[in-house]
Amino acid sequence: MDGLDALKAKYLTAVANVADEAGLEDLRVAALGKKGEISALMSGLGKMEPDQRKAAGAMLNVLKDEIDAALRAKKAALGDAALNERLRSEWLDVTMPARPRRVGSIHPVSQVMEELTAIFADMGFAVAEGPQVESDWYNFDALNIPPEHPARQEHDTFFMNRAEGDDRPPHVLRTHTSPVQIRAMTAQGAPIRVIAPGRVYRMDMDQTHTPMFHQVEGLAIDRNISMANLKWTLEEFCRAFFEVPSVELRFRASHFPFTEPSAEVDIRCSWEGGQLKIGQGDKWMEILGSGMVHPKVLAAAGVNAAEWQGFAFGMGIDRIAMLKYGIPDLRAFFESDLRWLRHYGFAALDMPDLAGGLSA
Amino acid sequence: MKFTLSWLKDHLETASSLDDILYALTDLGLEVEEVVNPLAKLAPFTLAKVIHAEKHPDADKLRVCRVMTDEGEKQIVCGAPNARTGITVVLCKPGDYVPGIDVTLGIGKIRGVESHGMMASERELELSDEHNGIIELPSGEVGQKFTDWLAINRPGLADPMIHVKVTPNRPDALGVRGIARDLAARGLGQLKPLPIPAIKGGFASPVQVEISDDLKTKGCPHFAGRTIRGVTNGPSPDWLQARLKAIGLRPISALVDITNYFTFGLNRPLHVFDAAKVHGKLRVHAAQGGEQFAALDGKTYTLRAGQMAISDDQGIESLAGVMGGEASGCSPETTEVFVESAWWDPITIAATGRALKINTDARYRFERGVDPAFTMPGLDLATQMILDLCGGEASDIAQDGAALDTTRAYKLDSARVISLVGMDIPEAEQRNTLESLGFTLNGDMATPPSWRPDVLGEADLIEEVARIASLSKLQGKPLPRTTSGVPRPILTPLQVRERTARRTIAALGYNECVTYSFIDQTAATLFGGGTDAVRVDNPISSEMSHLRPDLLPGLLRAASRNQARGFGDMALFEVGPAFQGGEPGEQHLQAAGLLIGQTTPRDPYGSRRPVDVFDAKADVEAALAAIGAPARTQINRKAASWWHPGRSGVIGLGPNMMATFGEVHPKVLAELGVKGPAVAFTILVANVPSPKVKTPTKPALALSDLQAVERDFAFVVDKGVEALTAVNAAIGADKVLIETVRLFDQFSGDKAEAQMGAGKKSIALTVRLQPSDKTLTEADIEAVSAKIIEKVSKATGGTLRG
């Protein structure tokens, strides 16, 4: 079996030099194919003596394996080279823009309403609703604001048109969310815990006022709820809502016809470089009005004031949204300027919950 | 309500600092809005002395002065004629801001001579209009602060002005004395006594008074006055003028200034008639309606029936409790005055003032409530002041009616105070508080003072006690949870659905807007509203005159504004109330979306195309599905008039209409100034039926291992045939075997008609067959295909496309 080394060298050189898969296949056939050189030598083994055959067979097998391995390695290398060449040709400018996708947004008022709801739901408050066109009884009388009371004039009320011959007092666009207190208590009685977020209307339009804005009413009635409970509830709310470690509230005596005692509530804050920080600093900012529900209001809603007592508060939603998110201008809330909606809006899936943090 | 610190101290003996007083006022519910310290702007200025003055070398009217200041001798050039050696002056140094000329001084050079500051005139320091020369002080040391000198020598000028916001329940705090009483109750000093002088009348009042019977019980129970003759109505004294000026009132004459002083000092509005111009008796009566009245403000008002007037023989002389008349007003020539002190019904005064749109300090007080027991003491005090300041001789009192008795008593339940407020206020302290506010306690019954008309029940006592005790001391106490354990869900199904609709539509790429509930009548009318029933009687502008019947007009107006800003492509939506009527409850929740322009910005991939009806349909279907609408619904073409009649549809279930989608009618777009086309949808959220089964469990999933088969069918149909007809017919061919039927192609238009005949189009359906028990054979498929072809052909009148 002389010449095997030469044969090996011949094929290994040829494999090394072959340029494409077709040439490689030709080599494989020439060497290992049924009629190839190696196969021919293999078939010559039968004519040999057993001893000779054994030795020559082993050598041929080694040679066959070596050439086979070289062929396979070369095939893989050629494949890689071809793929690399294809990939090189498939180059794209990946700095080109992505395929456009429209991105929507949630209005800050909606977002903040959901934040409020998440916090108060945890404290056992349901969400009550009421009509925005209200009778003057619900908007005023039932809340202990009789017709000629100066407080009624201070509400800058929008009145609805009254048809000729309809002698009822004109309906109003509700000036606050407080009438929902009456409706909720009338429907449910006591005990009760509700918040009532929604649109309210006042005839006022200037730098800081719009004729429509949003309020949230809170109401908690039970057998022995006190103003101290009110303070705690508001402290907890503000801490959770403004997402600060602690807040400090100050109650200031005030007057609302539907609560007694009444208090305006200030929150400790600082203003530095146009930046508001809640919970620290030496300034106080008024954020809401509150008090213990007036016995006459309870009575108007059919709740026995000798048996039940509790608190109510009202807060501007747009205002606390402005404070929390640093939105400068109330009027822009209702302008629907796309630039504003996109900048101050929230992602569709940015749903406030207490587990993850409201604005996380 | 404005007053000055010295005015307050007329009524309050106190050692408290201004800051303590301000804090207490706000804490008591008399919120301090503003404090003006008139001296703050004068803080930098010091006294100096001119030690030598000589003529400026290059100017006849200027003098070069050597002035001794706290920083040594300075050279100052001055143009004042009185700048001369030896006078004590007020010095403004370089760097100081001089308020009267609005200038921050520098070192100047006047005609070649350096000047290191200026010597000020009164006008330059805003002390008066005096500008004939610089201030010459009769006393004072070089270097002394000018503000210190003023505090000693002209204390009236140093008086801080305090402006508090008085809530409508506190008429007593519309007088300085009422404010002092609150502070005294808080422990900031003692309320000084207010001795009432005994006036001895020297003659019967030539002006007599009478209240008509119909007003005696309600409108005007008490009307009193007194004539003072021989008065001199010159300017009032400086101290009085200073006080009135400090609170923003213009001094007029002694008599008028005195009435203002009583209005603000004691919440006792008065009126002074020039008695010489009053003819006969002053009669309080209700107007007939139509009378003309020339008031002190120079305007003429036409009275309405029932408004209270005071008339003499010649006609109306005063609009009771609101404003006096021009004819009998006091002037500098007045020598005989009739002072009126009366009590007017708050409701009548409020109605009159509002109807005639007159706002006066008197109306403001009478409509909130003036002390009915103070009518006569107020008259006596005012008479004394007139005698003191204007001289003259007082008559006997002329009066009709009597002081209203407002005596009433409420139980002070000290335990209830503690339970309601949540503060431990001892009973003795509660009683003390009420007594110091003027309440009379008899056992546990508290009688409010006559000046507190707002106290009308036990709750008001609690408020007084809490207010004086200070709510700022209140410590929060946890609100007990209503249930133990994990809080239960609290939203109603509709509230959940509202949220889901909002989040879904935002996720579809729409920007949420919140637009006004009221819109202009044109827009409202276009959308089926704009009637009188939904008209706002007093709109703030004509653009906000009617409640919106639909959310689209607001979104379209918003789109128009955005187009004007250069944004052509947009997706806007709103979820909120729309109003079908003007009665409470005639509102319903809508979710509306609006697409305008192109689907996307221009891009290299050709994604951009104009939005169309089927974009709106995709979004409305997604939103409907998200809020639980059934998968199978009907679509009809009965959309309202603001939709394109051929390109809109109503999604519903039988007569129940859940949503409308389509192109907005081009006429509507043109009216609202929107560059179209625009496609939109409106969902009537509450009309979507709630799921019948309320369980979180989903129906079992039936998966078949058998191979599904898809077959396509194309039909030639009349071009008016609706796709859904064909789809529903195909589904009906075999309800078990057919899983889905989907339209995947439509061929219509000129080319199609050229091929298939005029008025024809072709539609292509793909049908997915899912066997459940055995693999389909070719024969099975053929059978169901034949049935599909038959059903669709029958339903559409079409034929299978060859």
**pLDDT per residue as tens digits for the range A270-314:** 988 878 889 888 899 999 999 999 999 999 999 999 999 999 999
Chain B's closest residue to A96, CA to CA, is B604
Cβ–Cβ below 8 Å for B532 and A292? no
Binding residues of A for Mg(2+): 260
Least Cα separation, residue B500 to chain A (angstroms):
10
Q: Are A68 and A121 in a shared domain? A: no
Asked if A307 has any chain B CB less than 8 Å from its own CB, the reply is no
Do the chains contact at A295 and B561, CB–CB below 8 Å?
no
> Which sign, positive or negative, has the C-alpha torsion A327, A331, A334, A336?
negative
Q: What rounded mean pLDDT belongs to chain B? A: 93
SS3 A319: helix
pLDDT at A1: 55
Query: Does A357 map to a domain?
Result: no
Look over chain A and give the mean of its residue pLDDT values, rounded to a whole number. 92
Q: Do the domain assignments include residue A38?
A: yes
Whether residue A206 sits in one domain with residue A72: no
Please give the sequence-ordered ranges of beta strands (E in DSSP) within B299-391, or none if there are none. 300-302, 308-312, 315-319, 323-324, 336-343
Res B596: pLDDT: 97
Q: Specify whether A313 is located in the same domain as A168.
A: yes
CB-based contact, B408 to chain A, within 8 Å: no
pLDDT over threshold 60, residue B798: yes
Q: What is the pLDDT of residue A158?
A: 94
Q: Does residue B178 register a pLDDT over 90? A: yes
Instruction: Give me the pLDDT at residue B613, please.
Output: 97
Task: Write down the pLDDT at residue B487.
Answer: 85
Quick one: pLDDT at residue B127? 81
Predicted structure pTM score: 0.86
Please check whether residue A313 lies inside any domain of the structure.
Answer: yes
How confident is the model at residue B341, as a pLDDT?
97
Count of structural domains, chain A = 2
Reported as a single tens digit per residue, the pLDDT across A49-106 is 888 888 888 888 898 899 999 999 999 999 999 999 999 999 999 999 999 999 999 9
- Residue A130 resides in a domain: yes
pLDDT at B285 over 80: yes
What pLDDT, on the 0 to 100 scale, is given for residue B539? 94
Mutate one of A92, A93, A99, A102 to test the B interface: name it (highest B CB count within 10 A): A102
Whether residue A133 is found in the same domain as residue A81: no
Of residues B487, B540, B584, nearest to A133 (C-beta): B584
> Quick check: B167 contacting A, CB < 8 Å?
yes
Residue A240 is part of which domain span?
117-344
**Residues of B in Cβ contact (< 8 Å) with A351:** 503
Determine contact: A296 vs chain B, CB below 8 A: yes
Q: Which of A89, A106, A127 is a domain's end point?
A: A89
Residue A148's domain is classified under what CATH number? 3.30.930.10
Residues A283 and A179 in one domain: yes
What does the alpha-carbon distance between residue A158 and residue A210 come to, in Å, rounded to a whole number? Answer: 13
Cα B82 to Cα A43: distance, rounded to the nearest angstrom: 141
| Residues A17 and A140 placed together within one structural domain of the fold | no
> Are the beta carbons of A127 and B558 separated by less than 8 Å?
no
Output B195-202 pairs: Cβ under 8 A, ≥24 positions apart: B196/B377, B196/B380, B196/B381, B197/B380, B197/B381, B197/B383, B197/B384, B198/B380, B199/B226, B199/B380, B199/B383, B199/B384, B199/B387, B199/B394, B200/B394, B201/B226, B201/B394, B201/B395, B201/B396, B201/B397, B202/B393, B202/B394, B202/B395
B593-609: average pLDDT: 93
A203 and B540 in contact by Cβ < 8 A?
yes
Q: Which of chain A's residues have a Cβ under 8 Å away from the Cβ of B471?
A: 227, 251-253, 261, 263
Q: Are residues A80 and A124 in the same domain?
A: no
| Domain annotation for chain B: domains and CATH numbers | 2-38+159-191 (3.30.56.10), 40-158 (2.40.50.140), 209-401 (3.50.40.10), 410-468 (3.30.56.10), 493-687 (3.30.930.10), 709-800 (3.30.70.380)
Instruction: Give the residue with greater pLDDT, A46 vs B196.
Output: B196
Q: What is the mean pLDDT of residues B566-580?
A: 97
Question: Quick one: closest CA in B to A200, which residue?
Answer: B517
Which residues on A lie below 8 Å from B457 (Cβ)?
295-296
Same domain for A54 and A131: no
- Contacts with A249 from chain B: Cβ below 8 Å: 476
Measured between CB atoms, does A45 come within 8 Å of chain B? no
Contact list in A for residue B599 (CB cut-off 8 A) is 102
**B622 falls in which pLDDT band (50, 70, 90)?**
very high
Residue A284 and residue A201 share a domain: yes
Site from A92, A107, A120, A194 to mutate, B interface, most B CB atoms within 10 angstroms: A107
Q: What is the mean pLDDT of residues B195-212?
A: 94
Share of chain B above pLDDT 70, in %: 100
**Is residue A66 domain-shared with residue A174, that is, in the same domain?**
no
- pLDDT attached to residue B152: 83
pLDDT digits (tens, 9 = 90+) for B722-765: 999 999 999 999 999 999 999 999 999 999 999 999 999 999 99
**CB contacts, 8 Å: A335 with chain B:** 558, 561
User: Chain A: residue nearest B535 by CA?
Assistant: A161
Distances (CA, A) of A239 to A147, A246, B284, B482, B483: 39, 6, 59, 21, 22
A-chain residues near B354 (CB < 8 A): 153
Residue indicated by tokens 């809330």: A333
- Let me know whether A42 and A178 are in one domain: no
Give me the mean pLDDT over the B90-104 stretch.
91
The pLDDT, as a whole number, for residue B108 is: 86
Which ranges in B665-747 belong to alpha helices (H)? 666-671, 723-731
Q: Which of the residue ranges A114-123, B157-166, B273-282 would you say has the lowest mean pLDDT?
A: B157-166
Inter-chain contacts counted by CB atoms under 8 A, chains A and B: 281
Let me know if residue A225 belongs to a domain.
yes
CA distance linking residue B545 with residue B519, whole number of Å: 6
Residue linked to tokens 């007009």: B553
Q: Is A187 at the interface with chain B, CB within 8 A?
A: no
pLDDT digits (tens, 9 = 90+) for B309-330: 999 999 999 999 999 999 999 9
Query: Each residue of A153-205: pLDDT tens digit?
Result: 777 899 999 988 988 999 999 999 999 999 999 999 999 999 999 999 999 98
The pLDDT, as a whole number, for residue B395 is 96
To test the contact with chain A by mutation, choose from B218, B420, B504 the residue with the greatest count of A C-beta atoms within 10 A, namely B420
B501 vs B506: CA distance, rounded Å? 9
Please list every residue in chain B whose beta carbon sits closer than 8 Å to the beta carbon of residue A232.
476-479
Q: What is the pLDDT of residues B702-731, one digit of tens each?
A: 888 899 999 999 999 999 999 999 999 999
Report, as an integer, the average pLDDT of B493-519.
97
Q: A142 and A85, same structural domain?
A: no
